[in-house]
C-alpha cells in the first residue's frame, strides 16, 4: 500500500467516524447552497423567460394614452427621431355581464388591426382563432379570464359598450406580453374572474368608443441607441392638443414593473441569506477540525515521522473539510434545483407566461459550489496549517497544560458564591472566549433568520389594516368613462343597497422638483370624506390644505422633496397647464406612489364646477345582488372594484404564502441551531470527557454531570438571544429595503411576540441537539476514558 493510499484510507475512516457532525455541518451548508441556487435560478428564469417573450412578441418600448387622436397623426409620431415602429389602437374599459356571475366584471377592450395580430405587443393564440375583421360581436379574450369562467370558443358574455349591452362571442383565447401580470383598475392583485382583456376587431372597437378615424393608445418600439427620454418628450408635445396622458417607458408599464419588483426581491434574498449559512459553515468547520487535530496530535506526529510532508498533512485535513463541503453541495444542489424548478413553474402560471425558460446555467452551480468550498476551506485553513506546522517530536508529546491565573472574572465569580457546577460552566466559557463568542454568533444568526422570517406576517397585517380599514373603508369603487359632475352622486345614492357614497377626483400629472420628475395620479377628495381618507402612520386623518400638496414618503424620496419645498405640477390630458405648489406634509402609503391635493383647489385651478372620476360606496349586503344587476346596465360606468373581495383575496394569499415561508425558515433556523449546538456539545464532550468521568467517579449523579455539559451550551444560547434580535432587526430592515419599489413597500414591524417566537424555536432546537449528545455521556465507559491520555 502506497503512502498516499494509507492517508486516503485514514481520511475516509475519519469522515465515516464523524458522520453525525459532518451531516450537521453539511445541512447548514446545503441550506446556503439551496437558497443561493433557488434565488439566482428563479430570477434568471424569470429574466430569461421575460426577455424571450418580449423579443418574440415585440413588446413595445414606449406607451401613451390620450383622449382622441386623429388618424393622420401616425405619420408625425413615426417621424420622431429614434422611433422604429408605431402602432395605434383603440382601448376602453367596459362593464361585463358574465353568465352565472352575480357581481359585475370589468373588461379592457383592445382593438385588433384589420390585417390580423398587432405588430407590437403581439398576442400568443392559445386556442381558437382570430375574429373576422368585419364582425362586430366576435372577440378574443385573455386565457386566464377564460379559464376562470370555463369559457371556450363559441361561448357568449355581454359587455356594456357606450351604455348599450351587447352580446360578444368568443372565437379564441390569447396571452399578451403586455399583460403578464394582469391588474384591473384600482386592483392590488390579479383577479381573473373580475377582470379580463378583450381583443375586438378595429372597426367594431372604433365604433363602440366613437373612435372611427382616430385612436387613443399608442405603442412604439425604438431603434438601438435611441434616447427614450427625448422620444417621450417629443411624443408628449405632439399629443398635448389631443389629451395626451403622458408617455412612459417599459419601466413604468404596470405588468413589467411588477416583474421587475419580483426579480429585485429574489436578488435581495440571494444576496442577504446565503452568506449567513456560509459564515456559520466556516465557523463549524474550524471548531470541529480544530478539536480533531488536538485529539490526533500523536497521529500527526507518526505521519510526519514516517515521511509525510507538511503539505500532505495540511492537505489531508483540508480534504476532510472538503468532503463535508461536497456533501453539503450535493444536498444543496438537489434541494435547490428542485425548489427552483418548482417555483419557476409557479411563477410562470402566476405571471401568465405562455412558456417557461428554466435554464439554471452551469455557472450558478459552479459559483455556489465554489463559495461553499471556499467557506469550508476558510474554516479549515487555520486548523490545517497548525497541524502542518507541528514537528514530529512536539506532536508526539502531550500538549502543554493551559496556564491559569486568577483574574477579574474569577474574583467576580467567587463573589457570586455560585455552586461548583455553575462555576465550572462559566469558567469553561471564559477559558475559550473566541470559540464561545463564535458559538453565540452562530446561534444568534439562527434567531435572526427566524425574526426575519416571521416579521413579514405582522408587516402584512399592518399593510392590510392601513390599506383596507384606515385609508380605504368603502365596499366598492365605481369608475366612470369620463369625469362626471359631483351631482352624479345623487343618482348613485338612489341605487339599491347603497348606504353611503362619496366622490373622488384623479388628475394625471407630472411632478418635478429640480432635475427629478415622476408621473403620478393626483388624488382629491371632497372635505369630510370618510370612506376613503388620507391617514398618517398613527392612523390620524390628514387634511390636505388649500393650494398645497401632501406626498407619500416614497414619492418625496424619489423627488428629493421635503415639507416646504415647491413642486412644479404639469397636469396632463385635457387639462394642460403647469402650476407650482408647496409640499405641506408627508404621509406613509404602502401601495403605489401617492400625491394628494385639496378638492376645492383642484377644481379652482381649472375654473370648473366640482368634478369626480370615481365614486366610493358602502353597500348593504342584503341588496348587493340588486345593485350589481343595475350596475351592469349603468351608462358611463367604466368598471367596478369590489374592495371586500380584494381584501379577502389579499388576506388569503398572504396567509398561504406566510405559512409556506414560515415553514421553510423555521426549518432553516432549526438546521442552523442543530448544526451549531450539536457540534459545540460534541467538542465539549471530547475535551472534557476525563473531567466529567472524574466527577461521576467522585459521586456526581448523571443528571449533575449532564447539567455541566448541557449548561455551557444553554448559557451560550441564552446569551445569543439579544444578539440574534439585533441581527434579526438588521436582516429584516435589509429585506424591507430590498422589497421596496414604486409599486409597494413593506413596513418593518417587529413585535415582542416575533422575538419571543424566534427565541423559543431556537432554544428548543438547541436543547434537542444537546440531548442527542447527552446520550453519549450516559453510554460513556468511565474506565476507558480515565485511561485516555490528556
Do 582 and 525 reside in the same domain of the chain? Answer: yes
Confidence class of residue 502 from pLDDT cuts 50, 70 and 90?
A: very high
Do 706 and 778 reside in the same domain of the chain? Answer: yes
Q: Degrees (nearest 5) of the Cα angle 146, 168, 96?
A: 70
Domain that holds residue 305: 1-61+252-400
Q: Identify any residues that bridge with 214 across adjacent strands, giving them in sequence order.
A: 70
Q: Torsions phi, psi of 568, nearest 5?
A: -85, 125
One DSSP character per residue, 343-408 reads HHHHHHHHTT-SS------HHHHHHHHHHHHHHHHHHHHHHHHHHHH--HHHHHSPPPPPP----H
Element (H, E) at 636: none
Q: What is the pLDDT of residue 1?
A: 47
Whether 333 and 18 have beta carbons less than 8 Å apart is answered as no
Q: Torsions phi, psi of 640, nearest 5?
A: -135, 150
pLDDT reading at 420 higher than 70: no
Do 149 and 289 reside in the same domain of the chain? Answer: no
pLDDT reading at 33 higher than 90: no
List pLDDT tens digits, range 690-735.
666 666 676 666 766 777 777 778 888 888 899 989 988 988 888 7
Whether 625 and 502 have beta carbons less than 8 Å apart is answered as no
Q: Is residue 636 part of a domain?
A: no
List pLDDT tens digits, range 461-491.
788 888 778 888 888 889 888 888 999 999 9
| Of 211, 197, 207, 187, nearest in space to 109 by CA | 197
Q: Which residues contact 141 (CB under 8 A, 6 or more apart)?
A: 151, 170, 173, 174, 196, 197, 198, 199
Q: Torsions phi, psi of 496, nearest 5?
A: -65, 135
DSSP state of 250: G
pLDDT reading at 790 higher than 60: no
Coil, strand or helix at 624? helix
Whether 610 and 484 have beta carbons less than 8 Å apart is answered as no
Do 335 and 353 reside in the same domain of the chain? Answer: yes
Q: Check residues 429 and 766 and name the one with the higher pLDDT.
A: 766
**Cα distances (Å, whole numbers) of residue 738 to 260, 726, 744:** 12, 19, 11
Biggest CA-to-CA distance, the chain:
103
Q: What is the mean pLDDT of residues 319-339?
A: 85
- For the chain, percent of residues with pLDDT exceeding 90: 19
Integer Cα distance of 567 and 583 in angstroms: 7
Q: Please state which of the ranges 269-273, 562-566, 592-596, 781-785 shows the lowest mean pLDDT.
A: 781-785
Do 134 and 192 reside in the same domain of the chain? Answer: yes
List pLDDT tens digits, range 650-676.
777 776 666 777 777 777 777 777 777
**Which range, 273-277, 561-565, 643-647, has the best average confidence (pLDDT)?**
561-565
Integer Cα distance of 660 and 47 in angstroms: 24
Considering 229, 251, 273, which residue would you say is the last residue of a domain? 251
Considering 400, 424, 445, which residue would you say is the last residue of a domain? 400
Do 301 and 391 reside in the same domain of the chain? Answer: yes
Whether 28 and 675 have beta carbons less than 8 Å apart is answered as yes
Whether 562 and 236 have beta carbons less than 8 Å apart is answered as no
| Of 120, 130, 131, nearest in space to 218 by CA | 120
- Number of neighbours of residue 624 by Cβ within 10 angstroms: 18
pLDDT reading at 10 higher than 50: yes
Q: Is residue 406 part of a domain?
A: no
Integer Cα distance of 79 and 290 in angstroms: 73
- Long-range CB contact pairs, 186-191, < 8 A, 24+: 186/477, 186/479, 186/614, 186/641, 187/641, 187/646, 188/467, 188/591, 188/646, 188/650, 189/646, 189/649, 189/650, 189/653, 190/144, 190/350, 191/645, 191/646, 191/649
Q: Is residue 580 part of a domain?
A: yes
Q: What is the pLDDT of residue 687?
A: 65
Do 56 and 67 reside in the same domain of the chain? Answer: no
Q: What is the pLDDT of residue 436?
A: 78
List pLDDT tens digits, range 224-259.
988 998 999 899 889 988 888 888 998 888 888 888
702-739 and 752-778 helices, crossing angle to 10°: 140
What rounded mean pLDDT belongs to the chain? 82
**Cα distances (Å, whole numbers) of residue 661 to 277, 341, 452, 583, 741:** 17, 17, 11, 40, 21
Instruction: Please state the pTM of the whole predicted model.
Output: 0.76
Q: What is the pLDDT of residue 177?
A: 93
Q: Please state which of the ranges 451-455, 582-586, 714-718 shows the lowest mean pLDDT.
A: 451-455
Do 55 and 93 reside in the same domain of the chain? Answer: no
Q: Which residues contact 17 (CB under 8 A, 6 or more apart)?
A: none
Integer Cα distance of 101 and 755 in angstroms: 46
429: left (phi over 0), alpha (psi -120 to 50) or beta: alpha
Q: What is the pLDDT of residue 754?
A: 87
pLDDT reading at 368 higher than 80: yes
**Which range, 309-313, 335-339, 624-628, has the best average confidence (pLDDT)?**
624-628
Integer Cα distance of 789 and 294 in angstroms: 12
Q: Is residue 485 part of a domain?
A: no
Considering only CA atoms, give the Rg of the chain: 34
Considering 251, 275, 302, which residue would you say is the last residue of a domain? 251
Q: Torsions phi, psi of 583, nearest 5?
A: -85, 120
Q: What is the mean pLDDT of residues 540-554?
A: 88
- CATH number for 524: 2.40.40
List pLDDT tens digits, range 382-405.
877 877 777 776 666 666 655 555
pLDDT reading at 133 higher than 70: yes
Q: Identify any residues that bridge with 81 across adjacent strands, giving them in sequence order.
A: none
Do 584 and 571 reside in the same domain of the chain? Answer: yes
DSSP state of 467: I
Whether 504 and 524 have beta carbons less than 8 Å apart is answered as yes
Q: Is residue 135 part of a domain?
A: yes
Q: What is the mean pLDDT of residues 738-762?
A: 81
List pLDDT tens digits, range 340-359.
777 777 776 778 888 877 77
DSSP state of 466: I
| Of 476, 473, 472, 468, nearest in space to 630 by CA | 476
Q: How many domains does the chain have?
A: 4
Q: Degrees (nearest 5) of the Cα angle 68, 70, 72?
A: 155
Q: Please state which of the ranges 127-131, 201-205, 589-593, 595-599 shows the lowest mean pLDDT.
A: 589-593
Q: Is residue 487 part of a domain?
A: no
Q: What is the mean pLDDT of residues 517-532?
A: 87
Do 11 and 76 reside in the same domain of the chain? Answer: no
Do 449 and 523 reside in the same domain of the chain? Answer: no
Do 79 and 224 reside in the same domain of the chain? Answer: yes
Q: Please state which of the ranges 299-303, 540-544, 608-612 shows the lowest mean pLDDT.
A: 299-303
Q: Is residue 413 part of a domain?
A: no
Q: What is the mean pLDDT of residues 441-456?
A: 82
DSSP state of 251: G
**Cα distances (Å, whole numbers) of residue 746 to 122, 228, 463, 735, 742:** 34, 31, 8, 9, 12
Alpha helix segments (H runs only) across 150-273: 202-208, 228-239, 254-272
Q: Is residue 516 part of a domain?
A: yes
- Strand pairing class (577-587; 549-552): parallel
Amino acid at each position: 500500500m502506497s503512502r498516499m493510499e494509507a492517508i486516503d484510507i485514514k481520511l475516509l475512516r475519519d469522515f465515516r467516524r464523524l458522520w453525525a457532525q459532518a451531516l450537521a455541518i453539511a445541512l447548514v451548508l446545503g441550506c446556503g447552497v439551496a437558497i443561493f441556487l433557488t434565488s439566482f435560478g428563479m430570477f434568471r428564469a424569470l429574466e430569461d423567460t421575460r426577455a424571450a417573450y418580449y423579443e418574440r412578441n415585440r413588446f413595445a418600448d414606449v406607451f401613451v394614452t390620450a383622449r382622441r387622436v386623429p388618424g393622420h397623426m401616425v405619420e408625425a409620431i413615426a417621424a420622431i427621431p429614434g422611433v422604429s415602429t408605431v402602432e395605434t389602437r383603440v382601448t376602453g374599459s367596459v362593464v361585463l355581464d358574465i353568465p352565472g356571475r352575480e357581481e359585475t366584471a370589468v373588461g379592457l377592450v383592445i382593438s385588433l388591426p384589420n390585417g390580423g395580430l398587432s405588430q407590437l405587443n403581439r398576442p400568443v393564440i392559445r386556442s381558437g382563432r382570430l375574429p373576422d375583421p368585419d364582425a362586430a360581436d366576435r372577440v378574443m379574450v385573455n386565457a386566464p379570464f377564460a379559464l376562470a369562467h370555463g369559457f371556450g370558443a363559441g361561448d357568449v358574455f355581454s359587455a356594456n359598450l357606450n351604455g348599450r349591452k351587447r352580446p360578444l362571442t368568443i372565437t379564441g383565447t390569447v396571452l399578451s406580453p403586455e399583460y403578464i401580470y394582469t391588474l384591473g383598475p384600482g386592483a392590488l392583485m390579479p383577479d381573473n374572474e373580475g377582470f379580463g382583456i378583450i381583443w375586438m376587431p378595429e372597426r367594431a372597437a372604433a365604433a363602440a368608443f366613437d373612435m372611427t378615424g382616430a385612436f387613443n393608445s399608442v405603442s412604439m418600439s425604438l431603434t438601438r441607441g435611441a434616447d427614450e427620454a427625448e422620444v417621450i418628450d417629443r411624443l408628449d408635445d405632439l399629443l398635448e392638443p389631443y389629451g395626451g396622458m403622458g408617455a412612459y417607458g417599459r419601466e413604468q408599464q404596470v405588468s413589467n414593473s411588477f416583474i421587475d419588483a419580483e426579480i429585485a426581491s429574489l436578488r435581495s434574498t440571494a444576496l442577504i441569506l446565503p452568506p449567513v449559512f456560509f459564515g456559520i459553515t466556516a465557523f463549524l468547520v474550524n471548531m470541529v477540525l480544530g478539536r480533531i487535530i488536538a485529539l490526533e496530535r500523536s497521529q500527526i506526529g507518526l505521519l510526519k515521522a514516517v515521511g509525510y510532508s507538511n503539505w500532505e498533512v495540511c492537505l489531508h485535513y483540508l480534504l476532510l473539510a472538503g468532503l463535508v463541503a461536497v456533501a453539503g453541495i450535493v444536498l444543496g444542489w438537489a434541494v435547490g434545483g428542485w425548489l427552483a424548478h418548482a417555483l419557476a413553474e409557479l411563477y410562470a402560471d402566476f405571471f401568465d407566461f405562455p412558456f417557461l425558460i428554466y435554464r439554471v446555467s452551469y455557472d450558478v452551480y459552479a459559483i455556489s459550489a465554489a463559495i461553499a468550498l471556499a467557506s469550508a476551506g476558510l474554516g479549515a485553513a487555520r486548523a490545517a496549517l497548525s497541524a502542518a506546522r507541528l514537528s514530529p517530536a512536539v506532536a508526539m508529546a502531550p500538549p502543554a497544560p493551559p496556564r491559569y491565573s486568577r483574574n477579574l472574572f474569577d474574583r467576580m465569580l467567587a463573589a457570586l458564591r455560585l455552586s461548583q457546577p455553575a462555576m465550572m460552566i462559566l469558567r469553561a466559557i471564559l477559558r475559550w472566549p473566541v470559540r464561545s463568542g463564535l458559538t453565540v454568533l452562530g446561534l444568534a444568526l439562527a434567531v435572526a433568520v427566524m425574526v426575519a422570517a416571521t416579521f413579514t406576517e405582522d408587516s402584512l397585517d399592518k399593510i392590510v389594516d392601513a390599506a383596507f380599514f384606515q385609508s380605504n373603508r368603502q365596499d366598492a369603487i365605481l369608475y366612470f368613462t369620463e369625469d362626471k359632475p359631483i351631482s352624479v352622486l345623487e343618482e348613485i345614492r338612489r341605487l339599491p343597497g347603497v348606504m353611503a357614497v362619496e366622490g373622488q377626483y384623479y388628475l394625471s400629472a407630472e411632478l418635478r422638483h429640480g432635475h427629478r420628475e415622476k408621473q403620478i395620479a393626483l388624488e382629491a377628495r371632497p372635505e369630510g370624506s370618510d370612506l376613503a381618507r388620507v391617514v398618517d402612520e398613527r392612523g390620524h386623518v390628514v387634511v390636505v390644505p388649500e393650494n398645497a400638496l401632501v406626498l407619500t414618503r416614497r414619492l418625496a424620496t424619489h423627488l428629493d422633496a421635503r415639507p416646504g419645498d415647491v413642486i412644479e405640477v404639469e397636469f396632463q390630458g385635457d387639462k394642460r397647464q403647469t402650476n407650482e405648489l408647496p409640499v405641506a406634509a408627508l404621509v406613509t402609503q404602502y401601495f403605489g406612489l401617492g400625491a394628494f391635493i385639496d378638492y376645492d383647489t383642484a377644481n379652482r385651478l381649472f375654473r370648473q364646477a366640482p368634478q369626480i372620476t370615481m365614486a366610493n360606496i358602502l353597500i348593504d349586503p342584503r341588496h348587493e345582488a340588486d345593485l350589481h344587476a343595475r350596475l351592469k346596465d349603468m351608462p358611463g360606468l367604466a368598471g367596478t372594484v369590489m374592495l371586500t373581495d380584494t381584501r379577502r383575496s389579499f388576506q388569503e394569499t398572504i396567509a398561504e404564502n406566510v405559512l409556506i415561508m414560515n415553514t421553510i425558515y423555521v426549518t432553516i433556523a432549526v438546521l442552523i441551531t442543530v448544526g451549531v449546538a450539536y457540534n459545540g456539545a460534541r467538542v465539549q464532550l471530547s475535551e472534557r470527557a476525563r473531567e466529567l468521568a472524574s466527577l461521576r467517579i467522585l459521586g456526581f449523579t448523571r443528571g449533575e454531570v449532564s447539567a455541566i455539559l448541557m449548561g455551557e451550551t444553554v448559557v451560550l444560547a441564552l446569551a445569543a438571544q439579544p444578539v440574534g434580535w439585533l441581527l434579526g432587526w438588521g436582516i429584516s430592515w435589509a429585506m424591507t429595503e430590498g422589497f421596496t419599489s414604486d409599486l409597494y413597500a413593506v413596513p418593518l414591524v417587529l413585535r415582542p411576540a416575533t422575538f419571543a417566537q424566534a427565541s423559543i424555536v431556537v432554544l428548543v432546537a438547541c436543547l434537542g441537539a444537546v440531548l442527542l449528545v447527552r446520550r453519549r455521556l450516559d453510554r460513556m465507559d468511565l474506565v476507558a476514558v480515565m485511561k485516555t491520555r490528556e
